């Protein structure tokens, strides 16, 4: 896909419905998608859960837990880069085909935030717990505690402290997105969408958020409608990148609504990225936001502001491929 000029993008008209991507008819329907290359390992766990009779919710939880336990992933769970005060705080949410939702924000010392979010959904009358309340609930539910700040993450934080000029301003105003939160070096949120053997859908999103964020900052990832949305009539969507910008356009919900009105997953993601670009103009030309969608018929697609966003797709035959999303700003 050739990249349009920024001027053309910012003035672009909304997309109209288009047919599915070429070759998609030759494949088994897609049943699970996850953000980034490491989504392949998450999808493998999701596929295994499905083979064992698990639901779509079991699939996305299993996948999220793989990323959370992966120490090499610096923006999810164990090994996540801390906030500016050196504390690793996790955000996560889940959503099911039935509209059941659960979320945690700023969870500390418990690695599997996605599972705590599921417990919030299943075992409380609420939909979101934050900070000490989330951590206390996790302990009450029997989750084990551990120090999530790995030596590698602590070293990175101490290095950042030496040079940090962290005025509280939107990251999208930083000059070089490649070196800032939301750039490819430090965003790895995992968003997952799955269709179970019963054809019901679910999704999950789990992250440690932006590296070196202000204490208390929450982005898009645990916010239903922003970092994740699932509508069993239509499909689901999830987001990664600068959460502040995803929230502005209710990114995931907007993608689902675009699919409801006839766009395929790629076109739906693109329409919301273009909407964000029109809304924010030059404020997002240095920012990264990527949207990923899976519709009920088993078509997947994605689109991003900047190039480089990849995602893992597993089809109903259990084959996983890595796809590269198109981007507005090449
Ligand atoms: N979306 C995440 C957040 O804003 C971070 C990321 O995906 O890089 O917290």
For residue 25, what pLDDT is reported? 58
Cβ proximity of 281 and 274 under 8 Å: no
Structural domains in the chain (count): 1
For residue 166, what pLDDT is reported? 61
Pick the atom of ligand 1 nearest to 227's CA. 1
Q: Band of the pLDDT at 3, cuts 50, 70, 90?
A: very low
Q: Verify whether ligand 1 is closer than 6 Å to residue 135 (CB atom).
A: no
Q: From ligand 1's centre to the CA of 210, what distance in Å?
A: 5
Weakest mean pLDDT among 34-38, 179-183, 302-306: 179-183
Residue nearest to atom 5 of ligand 1 (CA): 209
Burial readout 100-117 (b: 16 or more C-beta within 10 A, e: otherwise): ebbbbbbbbbbbbbbbbb
Going by their DSSP bridges, the two strands 300-304 and 320-324 should be labelled as: unpaired
Q: Verify whether ligand 1 is closer than 6 Å to residue 187 (CB atom).
A: yes
115: in domain: yes
1: in domain: no
Angle separating helix axes 56-69 and 39-51, nearest 10 degrees? 140
Structure tokens at 23: 């070759």
225: in domain: yes
Using CA atoms, how far apart are residues 330 and 327, in angstroms rounded to an integer? Answer: 6
Q: Which of 247, 311, 284 is nearest to 32 (CA)?
A: 311
Neighbours of 243 (CB within 10 A): 30
What's the pLDDT tens digit per position in 249-277?
Answer: 999 999 999 999 999 999 999 999 999 99
For residue 187, what pLDDT is reported? 58
What's the pLDDT tens digit per position in 297-309?
Answer: 999 999 999 999 9
Check pLDDT > 80 for residue 95.
yes
Using CA atoms, how far apart are residues 10 and 279, in angstroms rounded to an integer? Answer: 8
Average pLDDT over residues 109-132: 98
pLDDT above 70 covers a percentage of the chain that reads 85
Pick the atom of ligand 1 nearest to 187's CA. 8
For residue 270, what pLDDT is reported? 98
Pick the atom of ligand 1 nearest to 217's CA. 9
What's the pLDDT tens digit per position in 218-248?
Answer: 999 999 999 999 999 999 999 999 999 999 9
Q: Verify whether ligand 1 is closer than 6 Å to residue 109 (CB atom).
A: no
Burial of 242 (0-12, 13-18, 19+ CB in 10 A): buried
Neighbours of 329 (CB within 10 A): 20
Cβ proximity of 274 and 9 under 8 Å: yes
Domain span holding position 280: 6-327
Active-site annotation, residues: 189
Using CA atoms, how far apart are residues 314 and 60, in angstroms rounded to an integer? Answer: 12
For residue 330, what pLDDT is reported? 79
What's the pLDDT tens digit per position in 202-223?
Answer: 999 999 998 888 899 999 999 9
Q: From ligand 1's centre to the CA of 290, what distance in Å?
A: 10
- CATH of residue 106's domain is 3.60.20.30
Cβ proximity of 93 and 204 under 8 Å: yes
Distances in Å between the alpha carbon of 35 and those of 228, 232, 250, 313, 330?
12, 20, 18, 9, 20
Using CA atoms, how far apart are residues 79 and 73, in angstroms rounded to an integer? Answer: 6
Neighbours of 86 (CB within 10 A): 15
Average pLDDT over residues 194-205: 98
253: in domain: yes
For residue 287, what pLDDT is reported? 87
Check pLDDT > 50 for residue 9.
no
96: in domain: yes
């Amino acid at each position: 896909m050739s990249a349009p000029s920024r001027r053309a993008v910012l003035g672009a008209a909304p997309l109209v419905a288009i047919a599915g991507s070429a070759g998609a008819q030759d494949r088994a329907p897609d049943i699970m998608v996850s953000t980034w290359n490491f989504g392949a390992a998450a999808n493998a766990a999701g596929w295994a859960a499905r083979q064992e009779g698990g639901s779509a919710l079991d699939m996305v939880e299993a996948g999220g837990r793989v990323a959370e336990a992966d120490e090499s992933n610096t923006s999810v769970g164990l090994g996540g880069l801390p906030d500016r005060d050196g504390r690793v705080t996790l955000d996560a949410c889940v959503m099911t085909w039935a509209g059941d939702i659960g979320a945690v924000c700023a969870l500390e010392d418990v690695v599997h935030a996605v599972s705590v979010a599921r417990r919030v959904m299943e075992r409380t009358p609420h939909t979101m717990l934050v900070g000490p309340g989330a951590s206390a609930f996790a302990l009450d539910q029997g989750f084990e505690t551990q120090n999530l700040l790995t030596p590698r993450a602590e070293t990175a934080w101490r290095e950042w402290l030496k040079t940090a000029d962290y005025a509280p301003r939107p990251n999208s105003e930083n000059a070089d997105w490649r070196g800032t939160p939301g750039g490819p070096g430090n965003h790895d949120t995992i968003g997952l969408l799955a269709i179970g053997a019963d054809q019901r859908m679910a999704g999950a999103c789990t992250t440690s958020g932006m590296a070196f964020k202000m204490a208390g900052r929450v982005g898009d990832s645990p916010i239903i409608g922003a970092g994740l949305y699932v509508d069993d009539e239509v499909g689901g969507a999830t987001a990664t990148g600068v959460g502040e910008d995803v929230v502005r356009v209710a990114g995931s919900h907007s993608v689902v609504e675009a699919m409801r009105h006839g766009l395929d997953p790629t076109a739906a993601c693109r329409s919301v990225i273009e909407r964000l670009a029109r809304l924010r103009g030059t404020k997002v030309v240095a920012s990264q936001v990527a949207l990923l969608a899976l519709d009920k018929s088993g078509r997947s697609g994605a689109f991003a502001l900047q190039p480089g966003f990849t995602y893992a797709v597993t089809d109903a035959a259990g084959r996983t491929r890595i796809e590269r999303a198109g981007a507005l700003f090449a």
